[in-house]
Structures are given as C-alpha cells and as structure tokens.
Amino acid sequence: MSELDRVLIAGGGPVGFTAALNLARRGIPFTLLEGGDRIFDDPRAGTIHPPTLEMFEDIGVTKLFMERGFIVNNYHYRDRRQGLIADFDLNVLKDDTPFPFRLMLEQHKICYILRDLLKEYSGNEILMQHRVTKVEQDGSGVTATVETPDGEKTFRGRYIIGCDGGRSQVRKSMGVKFDGFTYGERFLVLSTRYDFGKAGYAITNYIADPVEWCAMFKVPGNDEKGMWRVVFPADAQAAPETIFEEASVQARIQGFHPKDGPYDVVHRNLYDVHQRVASCYRNGRLLIAGDAAHINNPLGGMGMNFGLHDAFNLVDKLGRIMLDGESEDILDQYDRQRRTVAEEYLQRQTIENKKNIEQKDAAAQEKFYDELRGIVADRSKLRTYLRRVAMIEGIERANSIT
C-alpha cells in the first residue's frame, strides 16, 4: 500500500486508540502521532455507558474491559443535607441493551488495553513524542508537520483524524470555530482509598448543594481494589497550592462525610471546564473526533463515551470509502450525525447536570428532587429517563440522521 492508503491519527488518548484499533481491524494502515512520551494517567474518565460497551463488544473488547472494571447497577442522587433523594436502577434498561449498567474503568486502562490489542496487527506505527504542529491538504492527501526529538518531520496520509484533545491542532488547521463557554470555576478531583461503600454510598453518587456539591465514584485504582474519586468545584482565582493544602482538602471531604481521623488523599488534580462544540467536524481530508470536536463538564460521565462513539462512526465511514469505494460525501454525514447529538444531547445534558447539582433556588431544587423521586417510582418513566442519560437515545438519534 502507498502512504496515501494510510490514515494519520493525531493524539493517543482513548479516542485515538479506538480509531486506531478500528482501522487496524479493517486492514487500513495508520500512523498514530502522540505528542506526549506516554499514555496520560491523570484521573479523568472512569465511566463507560451501555452503548459504548455494545460497540466494543462488536469488536471483541468488552470482555477485557469487564475483567478490569467495576459494574454499577445503580447510582445515587443525593442532597448534602437531606441524604438520599433517588436511587437509579439501571437494570430497567435490560430490554434496551445487553449491558444494563455502567462500567467503571479508568480511561488510561482503556488505552493500555487497546494498545496491547494493536500489537496483533502489522504495518502500523504508534509514535510517541510526535507532536503535530500543522496539517495541510492537497488533492490526494494530507501532510502533517510533526515536532519530534530528532527535529521536525512530515508524514503523509490520505486522511487525518484529529483526536488530539480540547486544544486540537488538527481543529485549528481546519479553521473551524470552537464556540461555547468556560465555567467560572475549576473542578478539583481528590482520590482516596477510604471505602464510602461501607457508609451506604453507591459506586456512583451525585451530591447536590448550592455551594459545596460533589460527585463521587469508585474506580478500580492501581491496585484494582478500589479508589474513590470526589469532584468538587474550586475557585478559579485561587492558587493550586492553596486548593491542594492538606487542611483544605480534608475539610472538603470531612464536610460531607465526617469521620474520625484524616482521609488518605492520594491524588489532587485541577481541571478547567468548558462547554464547546466545533462548528464542523470535517474540512476535506481533515477530520476531528472526541474532545477535539466537543468538550463538556464531566457530570454524567459522557465526554469520553461520546468521543468513542465518534471514532466508531467515523472509521466505519472511512472503511466504506477506502475499501468499498463509497463517496467521500459520507464524511459530511459523519459531521451531521455526531455534531447534532453533541449539541442536542451532550451539551444540553451536561449543562443541565451542573445546573441541577448546584441549584441555588431552594424551591427549584425541591421541585427537581420531586421529579427525580417521581421518575424512580415509575419503571416506565425511569426507563425513558435512563435511555437518555445512559446515551442510548443519542445513538439512535445520530443513526437516524441521513
């Protein structure tokens, strides 16, 4: 095959590796260019939703995820003072999906699993410390200019998929807009081995409060025995060292779950949080997927999942073009399908999740709690609600777009 039968992938996060495995399975060679020197293992995505498990099941990967992850059959919506408001039973989705649960598995482990599976395929390249700085296109392909430890190099391919995250260089080379907004506060993620399960919490919990809301969930952690992550809002103006001070982080966790003695806080991380969608996911041979195309707050655990769905959708279309000779017009369909649901579901739902968890109007908060209580008390309402938040409805909507 010539270099122009190759697909370039910028970025070795979960979306880049998912695109790579899907290309390799079709026999389409790829070169994955990752700017970092390793797969990043900072505490970000940890939740996999049912449609994502279904997609990976089709390529024989879900069982590997299940061996390493924790199953969440139910999750809690709580109020910091009132306690449990609603317990969501995901098993109500049993007729909608073979995976009526969430799976907790850290995103870097997803990358490790996919990278290991890629060793079975030849003709591909995974190049670390290769940062894409510019992408240009012509009638037959794309040229990526790449910064490497040995100086600047260029790589040619027929297409490039920008899976290079929120600051995507591929998106910048496409010249598309990335409109939306950045929240006034950052999100602080604390990790502790303390077992909140013994205190009655579910594996996933959303704890509402007008000031000190938090989201808390359990992931396997490095020893696979369990690590609890707690996400709080943090002042965007404060210095990270102040936010990370031992007394301050202890006070925050003790504040919603007081206990004797300090918490064993293993990690402290701060993230800026944005809500943005690219104005187009395609410019000729340049394509974007994942955080390069859309970013959102992590409440609901949707961002990575959405990006993985992008990768499956896009590589299916690239395969139809490169192997079956279909028209490149279907790449515009990729843009229509995935951008529409990013706007209609991903952005809408995550903005709403944040608004609800930090609701300052007491009457509005009580009204919302009553709605949640009504939903969990009625199996039919619960199913409708969970089909949306478990991302099933979004996939159906995307697939309905021609």
Ligand X SMILES: Cc1cc2nc3c(=O)[nH]c(=O)nc-3n(C[C@H](O)[C@H](O)[C@H](O)COP(=O)(O)OP(=O)(O)OC[C@H]3O[C@@H](n4cnc5c(N)ncnc54)[C@H](O)[C@@H]3O)c2cc1C
Q: Which two tokens stand for residue 13?
A: 């996060």
Mark residues 249-268: x for contact with ligand X by CB under 6 A, - for none. --------------------
**Angle 122-7-129 (CA atoms, 0-180°, nearest 5)?**
80
- The answer to the question of residue 341 lying near ligand X (CB under 6 A) is no
The count of residues interacting with ligand X (CB under 6 A) is 36
> Where would I find the H helices in 325-361?
330-341, 348-357
Interacting residues with ligand X between 106 and 125 (CB under 6 A): 107
Residue 319 backbone dihedrals phi, psi, to 5 degrees: -65, -45
Cα gap 225→70, rounded to integer Å: 10
- Cβ of residue 34: shortest distance to ligand X, in angstroms? 5
| Of the candidate residues 47, 313, 356, 359, the single one contacting ligand X (CB under 6 A) | 47
- The answer to the question of residue 35 lying near ligand X (CB under 6 A) is yes
| Of the candidate residues 6, 7, 8, 12, the single one contacting ligand X (CB under 6 A) | 12
User: Which residue lies nearer to ligand X by CB, 169 or 356?
Assistant: 169
User: Which residue lies nearer to ligand X by CB, 100 or 303?
Assistant: 303
- The answer to the question of residue 50 lying near ligand X (CB under 6 A) is no
- The answer to the question of residue 163 lying near ligand X (CB under 6 A) is yes
| Of the candidate residues 68, 80, 131, 348, the single one contacting ligand X (CB under 6 A) | 131
Which range of residues in 23-31, 120-128, 158-166, 176-184 is near ligand X by CB under 6 A? Answer: 158-166
> Where would I find the H helices in 160-302?
169-174, 240-243, 246-256
| Of the candidate residues 117, 253, 287, 302, the single one contacting ligand X (CB under 6 A) | 302
Q: 269 - beta bridge partners?
A: 189
Nearest to 234 by CA among 219, 224, 245: 245
Cα gap 252→332, rounded to integer Å: 47
User: Which residue lies nearer to ligand X by CB, 233 or 369?
Assistant: 233
If you write DSSP's letter for every residue of 304-333 in order, what string do you get?
Answer: HHHHHHHHHHHHHHHHHHHHH---TTHHHH
Cα gap 355→299, rounded to integer Å: 10
Binding site for ligand X (CB under 6 A): 10-16, 33-36, 40, 44-47, 107, 131-132, 163-165, 169, 187, 189, 231, 271, 290-291, 298, 301-305, 307
